[in-house]
Structure 1
Amino acid sequence: MKTTVENLDPSRIKLTVEVPYEELKPSLDAAYKEIGSQIQVPGFRRGHVPNRVIDQRVGRGTVIQEAVNNKLSDFYRDAITEAERVPMLQPEVDVVELPNAAGENGGQLAFTAEVTVRPVIELPDLSKTELTVDAVEVTDEDVDTELDNLRARFGSLKSVGRKAKTGDFVTIDLKAVIDGEEVDSISGVSYEIGKGNMLKGLDTALRGLKTDESATFTTELAGGEHAGEKAEVTVTATAVKQRELPKVDDEFAQLASEFDTVEELREDLIKQVTERKTGEQAVAARDVLLEQLRSEVSFDVPEAVVEAEIAQHLQAEGKESDEEHAKEIRDDIVTGVRDQIILDVLAEDLKVGVAQDELLEFLFQTAQQYGMEPAQFLQGAQQAGQIPAFVSEVARNKSLAMALRQAKVVDSKGEAVDLSAYIGSDEDDAAAAAEAAAVVAAEASEESTDSAESGDE
């Protein structure tokens, strides 16, 4: 097979591929076998019809077309691999020449393929990269906040006769009206004033209400068939309660934890806050690294990929013709595609491997985010052909962790930061790479066995 590459622009190439008859012949033989098993010719058993008879019955051109259809994607894949470019979209393929459909066997298959490819980029030397993150500092206020959160878990609610205020828990009934018609209502819902996680304007309407008092306000509905529409909402406070927190003493420490004294409890909370802030430090280091890569690696994001991502996003939201929304999300899409390209190259440079347990953990976490059973989510992902995309996403995340191990990370005080508990080790990655290689080898062996068995039939 001969492949020539024409660079149309930095992110689009044209492949011209010529496949000699000899390389296409195995696919032609398979096509003859397949077609021969489907036709009935007097004097011949099904599956034992000579090729020349098949040519007479269905035409050699039909056999050639069947062979090309079955093998074209493989030839394209080999050509793009030989060109050492990474496709980002499906190619536009044009078959320009087919083997001889009459006369002597011979000729060649020739086709062109125009495809959007990943830009060629070069990443900076990570060993010379220095990142600065905030130092971990645990204050008394941090510990008091954790202690208050713990007290809230063990607190109780008590009805009050006063006006409702921020922090109170109010049992409410809601009724929404549009153009004089009631469109939605709920009752008996408990809501903490100040949370701001229901309707815009609800907190303001509730403040100052006593039990059995009502208020009306105008807002946009957040859900249902009228989501986004303006409605007149009436809220009634059927109960107003304040949270009473337990006193912080040794008795509370024994109730809320495994410790006997408040002092021991506070020491443990200091450890928890330190661990949390160190984890946040690791996330910050990752974000700083990504931002630095963005600033140091300059390239044009393929416009065709951006347009495809926007179209997919709009389709998922049922807004295919919403040009205004397309403009709103464009910048985020461009940033996302740019990050994907950078991290894919980073993962390749660092030879990132994804172990099966890492993929399963990612799938489990993603299923939880969508509120689905892991098995159901995995089945849906397999049916939609999304597993390779998930593997790539895990590899991108791992590439940042591996890159952080090579970079120098210091805090705002100039002290070296140890993130080993959060970014893994080289030994872990070596094990993952070995497992990934073993899986690939096993799949290759299985495919080889299947091919051999198919050939014996």
Structure 2
Amino acid sequence: MKATWEKIEKNLGVLDVEVEADRVAAALDKAFNKVVKKVNVPGFRKGKVPRSIFETRYGVESLYQDAIDILLPEVYGEAVEQAEIFPVDRPEIDIEQFSKGEAFKFKAKVIVKPEVKLGDYKGIEVAAVAAEVSDEELSQELERLQERHAELAVIDEGTAASGDIAVIDFDGSVDGVPFEGGQAERYSLELGSNTFIPGFEEQVIGMGTGDFKDVEVTFPETYHAEELANKKAVFKVKVHEIKRKQLPELDDEFAKDVSEFDTLDEYKEDLKKQLLNRKEQEAQGVRENEVVEKAAANAEIEIPEAMVQSEVQNMMRDFDNRLRQQGMNLEMFLSFSGQSQADLEGQMKDDAMKRVRNNLVLEQIGKEEKLEATEEEINQELSNMAEQYKRPVDEIRNILASNGSLDSLREELVLRKTIDFLLENSVEGAPAAKEETATEE
């Protein structure tokens, strides 16, 4: 097989491929063996039609498309490897020649990974980040722990308030006509979470168990379903239950329930250490982000749109998975937030561009500095994964090898080493401005 690569412009080029006639013949044989099983010819059992009779009756050309489908993925991959290019999107294939007894010729228009022209990446100034825990932050963490360990108690009297969980049925309609996604039974809605259409939750507040109410709202003008945008809707709502959080007392018993300590003072001391460790990790993350973004800003790259769109789709899948872990899905989120999928993807595009740029720059720096992941480091990472998932190391290795993720693991380790390299070769600047925000959980 011969493969030549010619760059047309920026990250676009043409891969010119010629495949030997004997491989074409082998592909035609495979195509015939596949097709003959489905062919009915009088005088022959299904699957037993001789090749010569098949070609006389149907023509050898009837096998061409199946043969191309069999051969093309295989030889395209070989051609990419031979030309030493890295495609980032599906190629545009132009078949120039395919016939029995002749070579297979095709051209593939390919968008490839862009070249990265590095700027300065050593000696980057990175702000110092102080890691300390204030008494206020400790108190806020204790309050969050109270919330986390609160019990949901069904209240028999009174009405729903912000922060309560209302278990409701709702049935929505516009001009008396039900619409898709507007109905549910025994749905647990946290009032004040702003997950439903604006104005909905506020009208549920004040309802009691067993109450019925028509909740009237107006869909946002930018609602993803155009037929509902800016339309008034009526939801018939029934409240089945109201659940309210009962916070535990902050005392020694609370400490015993949530930790291995006997007193609240001991637990607070340990919690402060945990918070400090978390803030140190966050500070390290801030420094890593800064040094990577500054190195990326100093580089010159023309990023193909296909790479950005691919990263957006990865982000969308991650977001959908997180929603499912919370008992929701992407369709429900879009319905209640009034956004379209295109809106959400548009919001993610800048971050996707930044991720792609940063990764390309880190990859190039790793190559420049000849950074590699050793077998010892890979084995250690596999051991960590085996411990996390409670599975044998060999099983984890085989799973990753079978789905092609072992190379991804190696690449991830090199990226981490590259970030460490950048920090080791950075200089400490003035302390970063202190944020007036509480530590996130």
Q: What's the TM-score, normalizing by structure 1?
A: 0.58
Q: Give 1:150-229 correspondences, 5 Å limit.
A: 150-152=145-147, 153-155=149-151, 157=153, 159=155, 164-170=160-166, 172-180=168-176, 191-209=189-207, 216-220=215-219
Measure, in 2, the Cα distance between the counterparts of 1:147 and 1:213: 36
CA distance in 1, matches of 2:192, 2:16: 64
Amino acid at match of 2:141: E
Among 135, 146, 149, the alignment partner of 2:144 is 149
**1:259 has 2:237 as partner:** no
Q: Does structure 1 residue 27 correspond to structure 2 residue 23?
A: yes
* 1:143 shift after superposition: 1.7
Q: Deviations over 1:73-103 (max 9, x none)?
A: 55544443344321223334445568995xx
Question: How far apart are the structure 1 equivalents of 2:120 and 2:275?
Answer: 34
Name the CA shift for 1:260/1:7 in 2 (closer, same or farther; >3 Å).
Answer: same
1:138 aligns with 2:153: no
3-state DSSP class of the match of 1:217? strand
In structure 2, relative to structure 1, the CA distance for the partners of 1:301 and 1:31 (3 Å cut) is: closer
Give the conservation status (yes or no) of the 8 Å contact 2:120–2:295: no
Query: Which of 298, 301, 312 matches 2:300?
Result: 298
Secondary structure in 1 matching 2:137 = helix
Distance, in Å, in 1 between the alignment partners of 2:58 and 2:165 is 79
Stretch deviating more after TM superposition (182-191 or 281-290): 182-191
Structure 1 position 248, deviation (Å): 2.3
Match of 2:11 in 1: 11
1:334 to 1:110, Cα distance in 2 relative to 1, 3 A: farther
- Which of 405, 419, 431 is the aligned partner of 1:404? 419
Q: How big is the shift at 1:259?
A: 1.2
Looking at structure 1, the residues matched to 239 and 64 of structure 2 have their Cα atoms a distance apart, in angstroms, of 77
Q: CA deviation at 1:191?
A: 4.5
Give the Å deviation of 1:266. 0.4
Which position in structure 2 is the counterpart of 1:248?
250
Distance (Å, rounded) in 1 between the aligned partners of 2:197 and 2:99:
68
| Structure-1 separation of matches of 2:301 and 2:9 | 12
**Aligned AA for 2:91?**
P
CA offsets, 1:234-277, max 9 Å, x none?
A: 44556666544333222332333321111101012112222333
Counterpart-to-counterpart distance in 2, 1:335 and 1:36? 49
1:328 Cα shift? 7.4
**1:117 counterpart residue number:** 112
* C-alpha contact (below 8 Å) 1:3/1:15 kept by paired residues: yes
Q: Distance in 1 between matches of 2:157 and 2:66?
A: 82
Letter in 2 for 1:413: P
- Per the alignment, residue 231 of structure 1 pairs with 233
CA contact under 8 A between 2:166 and 2:189: conserved in structure 1?
Answer: yes
CA shift in 2, pair 1:32/1:169, >3 Å:
closer
Letter in 1 for 2:88: M
CA distance in 2, matches of 1:155, 1:66: 62
SS in structure 1 of the partner of residue 89 of structure 2: coil
RMSD: 5.8
Equivalent residue number for residue 90 of structure 1: 90
Query: Structure 1 residue 121: deviation in Å?
Result: 1.1
Seen in structure 2, the aligned counterparts of structure 1 residues 196 and 397 have a Cα distance that, compared at 3 Å, is: farther
Q: Is the 8 A contact 1:91 1:115 kept in 2?
A: yes
Structure of greater Rg: 1
SS at structure 2 position matched to 1:13: strand
Q: What is the CA distance between 1:138 and its match in structure 2?
A: 1.4
Task: String of CA shifts for 1:278-320, please: whole Å, max 9, x gaps.
Answer: 3433443444345334422333232466678899999x999xx
Amino acid at match of 2:198: K
CA 1:151/1:76 → structure 2, altered by over 3 Å: closer, same or farther? closer
Identity %: 24
CA distance in 2 between partners of 1:56 and 1:186 (Å): 62
| Alpha-carbon distance between aligned partners in 2 of 1:284 and 1:325, rounded to the nearest angstrom | 30
Is this contact kept in 2: 1:169–1:242, CA < 8 A? yes
Residue of structure 2 equivalent to 1:440: none
Secondary structure of the structure 1 residue equivalent to 2:266: helix
SS of residue in 2 equivalent to 1:128: coil
Corresponding position: 1:340 with 2:336? no
CA distance in 2 between counterparts of 1:158 and 1:113 reads: 65
* Preserved CA contact (<8 Å) 2:15 2:109: yes
What is the distance in 1 between the residues matched to 2:141 and 2:91? 55
Deviation at 1:8, TM superposition (A): 0.8
2:275 is aligned to 273
CA separation of 1:337 and 1:238: change in aligned 2, threshold 3 A:
closer
Structure-2 residue corresponding to 1:417: none
Q: Matched residue of 2:85: which SS?
A: coil
Paired residues, what number?
373
Cα distance in 1, alignment partners of residues 66 and 245 from structure 2:
74
Identify the range of structure 1 (71-80 vs 292-301) with the bigger mean alpha-carbon deviation. Answer: 71-80
Contact 1:13 1:115 survives alignment (8 Å): yes
CA contact (8 A) 1:160 1:241 kept: no
